């Protein structure tokens, strides 16, 4: 891809729509599920839409509608226009919306190759970074959301979404985007605007029943870096609102690509494991997809010293698994990390000596983790144990293959009135994580995104495709 240029056309802000002038602040306390992710790097993704129109058409016809519908949507999502902060009188951080708060919105034009950016083919990871805006970080707080809309003349446009993981999990972000798309697609939305129940955010924090003192434990570990830290110590930490740095510094050496597993491919993987292992395994599409990608990842990065030790890590949505259940439209974090802190390279070698192939060995681990979801004797004890154990697994030689997104979130159902996205891309996976989404063609398959060095990506692609070939049913990767 030739060197691309990006021109900023407008730096603006969008305020929540309001029919009256209000002077009342809106606050939302963070739960332990939120503070768990407080220092995590922002989640960043792209929605790319095909629209073969000139820039002037986009600026004059589409952009005003996108801005107006964004304002209408923010009326329902006030916290996203605010910031995360920690007032002196508060025992923990809060999301604070103050009348006059706005969402940063950048408008840009790019001559980059839209067809490449919206394809599955490998390209330099650095190419998508200009399509996103950063969150604003200060000593007193950090913005919760930033947006960037980039038009590609005669090709399409892209919406870049950046959100703070301390308040917004994947399901919350997807709900916001679908709400914005819903109001944009309405010819004449009523005022004040109404959203369908499933897209109307639920804010009641009392549905999260944190055990007494547990929030402070999480704050001490995540923010205070010390189990003995006090609330004041955490609040006065000069780096309170800075993020952990997971992003690779050599993006120009990294390539990103998307690989598709069809329903037929997943069925093939299921038969392969079922034929070789009679044990009771949970062979869902997620388990099989993650295990297969993980297996290819292990083999493609064998010589990478930064990935000498590799761990399994994914998150599970607990909205319908807590007691009482949390509504599906709850805005906030309600995901729990599920980890296995055994080095999978060593585990696979051990299993292969027992006659178990690498893919099946990984399936067995992931299956057990998935089966444990929602069945913990003490969920909060498990969360605390993971928080304490995780730092010991971090090093310059280790990698956690996390999962961003989910096929169940329906990213491709985000239609602003001009059709479904041509491609959905999770950008914030340069740390060794992968992304998952449903296939954009509605076929029931799964799209998996990942970022690797060029030679590793080539090796991964060979492993991925050869393992699924019709002549290789009994020898998958």
Backbone angles phi, psi at 429, to 5 degrees: -130, 25
How far is residue 175 CA from its own chain's centroid? 13
The catalytic position among 233, 368, 415, 458 is 415
CB distance 475 to 468 below 8 Å: no
In order of 269, 278, 359, the CA distances from 274 in angstroms are 9, 6, 12
Phi, psi of 47 (to 5 degrees): -115, 110
Q: How far apart are CA 365 and CA 348, in angstroms?
A: 10
Q: d(Cα 351, Cα 97) in Å, to the nearest integer?
A: 53
Cα–Cα distance for residue pair 385/377, rounded to 1 Å:
13
| Integer Cα distance of 74 and 331 in angstroms | 13
Centre a 10 Å sphere on the Cβ of residue 392 and count the other Cβ atoms it contains: 9
Q: Say which DSSP state 15 is in.
A: P
Q: Strand pairing partners for 96?
A: 27, 83
Q: Which of 76, 164, 165, 347 is catalytic?
A: 165
d(CA 105, CA 66): 11
For the chain, the distance separating the N- and C-terminal CA atoms, rounded to the nearest angstrom, is 31
Residue 165 bears catalytic tag: yes
Catalytic residue list contains 455: no
Burial class (CB in 10 A: 0-12, 13-18, 19+), 140: exposed
**Which of the 8 DSSP states describes residue 284?**
-
Tokens representing 362? 């990984």
CA separation for the pair 31, 166 (Å, rounded): 10
Q: Which residues are catalytic?
A: 165, 415
């Amino acid at each position: 891809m030739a060197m691309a240029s990006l021109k900023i056309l407008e730096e603006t802000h969008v305020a929540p729509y309001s029919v009256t002038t209000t002077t009342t602040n809106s606050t939302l306390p963070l739960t332990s599920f939120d503070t768990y992710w407080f220092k995590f790097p922002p989640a960043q993704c792209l929605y790319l839409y095909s629209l073969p129109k000139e820039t002037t058409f986009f600026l004059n016809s589409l952009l005003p509608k996108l801005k107006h519908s964004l304002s209408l949507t923010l009326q329902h999502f006030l916290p996203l226009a605010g910031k995360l902060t920690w007032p002196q009188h508060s025992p923990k951080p809060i999301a604070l919306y103050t009348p006059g708060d706005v969402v940063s919105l950048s408008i840009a034009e790019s001559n980059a190759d839209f067809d490449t950016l919206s394809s599955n083919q490998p390209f330099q990871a650095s190419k998508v970074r200009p399509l996103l805006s950063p969150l604003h970080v200060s000593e007193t707080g950090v913005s919760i959301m930033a947006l960037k809309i980039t038009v590609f003349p005669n090709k399409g446009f892209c919406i870049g979404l950046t959100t703070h993981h301390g308040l917004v999990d994947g399901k919350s972000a997807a709900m916001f985007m679908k709400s914005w798309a819903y109001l944009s697609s309405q010819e004449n939305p009523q005022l004040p605007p109404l959203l369908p129940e499933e897209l109307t955010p639920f804010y009641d924090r009392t549905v999260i029943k944190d055990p007494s003192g547990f929030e402070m434990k999480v704050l001490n570990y995540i923010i205070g870096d010390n189990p003995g830290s006090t609330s004041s110590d955490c609040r006065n930490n000069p780096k309170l609102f800075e993020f952990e740095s997971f992003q690779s510094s050599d993006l120009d050496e990294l390539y990103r690509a998307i690989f598709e597993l069809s329903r037929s491919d997943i069925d093939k993987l299921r038969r392969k494991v079922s034929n070789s292992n009679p044990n009771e395994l949970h062979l869902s599409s997620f388990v099989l997809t993650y295990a297969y990608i993980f297996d290819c990842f292990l083999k493609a990065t064998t010589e990478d010293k930064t990935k000498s030790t590799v761990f399994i890590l994914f998150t599970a949505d607990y909205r319908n698994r807590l007691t009482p259940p949390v509504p599906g439209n709850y805005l906030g974090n309600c995901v729990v990390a599920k980890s296995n802190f055994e080095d999978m390279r060593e585990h696979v070698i051990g299993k292969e000596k027992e006659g178990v192939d690498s893919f099946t060995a990984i399936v067995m681990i992931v299956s057990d983790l998935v089966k444990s979801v929602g069945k913990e004797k003490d969920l909060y004890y498990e969360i605390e144990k993971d928080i304490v154990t995780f730092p010991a697994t971090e090093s310059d030689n280790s990698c956690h293959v996390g999962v961003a997104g989910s096929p169940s979130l329906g990213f491709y159902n985000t239609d602003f009135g001009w059709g479904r996205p041509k491609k959905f891309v999770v950008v914030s996976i340069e740390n060794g994580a992968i992304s998952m989404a449903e296939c954009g063609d509605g076929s029931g398959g799964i799209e998996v995104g990942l970022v690797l060095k060029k030679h590793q990506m080539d090796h991964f692609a060979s492993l991925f495709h050869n393992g699924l070939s019709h002549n290789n049913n009994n020898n998958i990767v």
